[in-house]
Structure 1
């Protein structure tokens, strides 16, 4: 399922949430009274489902769903649809109505892909940032730092007790570089296999 989000800056997010939900709830019950220029196609009253509170709302239409959340200073809107055409239809529907309701003080609605997809029930959805997050990166960096520190400590000990200092330094540098390349290559391979 495709998703898109808009974070609309406004001093009255709850007001716009309630206005959108009441409007669509009313359209679901009184479809015969809508103007000819209205953007809703011919829908039956049972095809529009609306639920809302002061801070959250959900609009369910035959071609997708819109969820609304009012937080201080922002109205968050998320639309979900099975395909690009229906997603764009929902985006246009919400944008048009927000524009109508905010004529005196126009609001800007800028849609962004949400970064997550909604899978079928039972399938786990993990946003890419969580799946490939910074935690793994810090673990790899930590292991590399410990390995370098151990090699330097061993190298210092070997240099203090060996007459072949030049040969030992060259050998230790070669080992450290080879291990760093191996660990980096494995980390890159693992990252690519997770993405693909």
Structure 2
């Protein structure tokens, strides 16, 4: 399983976590609280955690193509939802 992570600095981490999960829940299984959430796509999973002024993201998938799909979907949605706050998602391999 391949995994990448991102920490997006924002004072509205819980708000974005809930917004993403509610949005994804229209198409894929998703569950959430104000602090943690998970969206399970057919090709991979995104786990989210809101804490300390940041939204922590972890994307896992079985191969590079699937990982890229989940990364794209999560990045695209979060950056669009966070336009007002100028959110930028930068991914790193999980260490």
TM-score with structure 2 setting the length: 0.96
* 1:102, distance to aligned residue in structure 2 (A): 1.0
| Unaligned runs of at least 5 residues, structure 2 | none
How many Å separate the matches in 2 of 1:82 and 1:50?
19
How many Å separate the matches in 1 of 2:84 and 2:38?
26
The counterpart of 2:81, out of the listed 101, 123, 134, is 101
What is residue 185 of structure 1 aligned with on the other side?
none
What is residue 7 of structure 1 aligned with on the other side?
7
Runs of 4+ aligned structure 1 residues displaced above 3 Å come to none
What is residue 157 of structure 1 aligned with on the other side?
none
* 1:14, distance to aligned residue in structure 2 (A): 0.1
Which structure: greater helix fraction?
1
What is residue 64 of structure 2 aligned with on the other side?
84
Counterparts of 1:81-160 in structure 2, within 5 Å, are 81-115=61-95
Aligned residues between the structures: 95
Q: Deviations over 1:12-61 (max 9, x none)?
A: 10000000001011x22xxxxxxxxxxxxxxxxxxx11000010000001
Q: Deviations over 1:64-87 (max 9, x none)?
A: 100000002110000000000110
* 1:103, distance to aligned residue in structure 2 (A): 1.4
- SS at structure 1 position matched to 2:60: strand
| Unaligned runs of at least 5 residues, structure 1 | 29-47, 116-196
TM-score with structure 1 setting the length: 0.48
* 1:90, distance to aligned residue in structure 2 (A): 0.7
* 1:108, distance to aligned residue in structure 2 (A): 1.3
User: Higher RCO, 1 or 2 (CA under 8 Å, sep at least 6)?
Assistant: 2
How many Å separate the matches in 2 of 1:66 and 1:105?
22
CA-atom RMSD in angstroms: 0.7
How many Å separate the matches in 2 of 1:103 and 1:9?
13
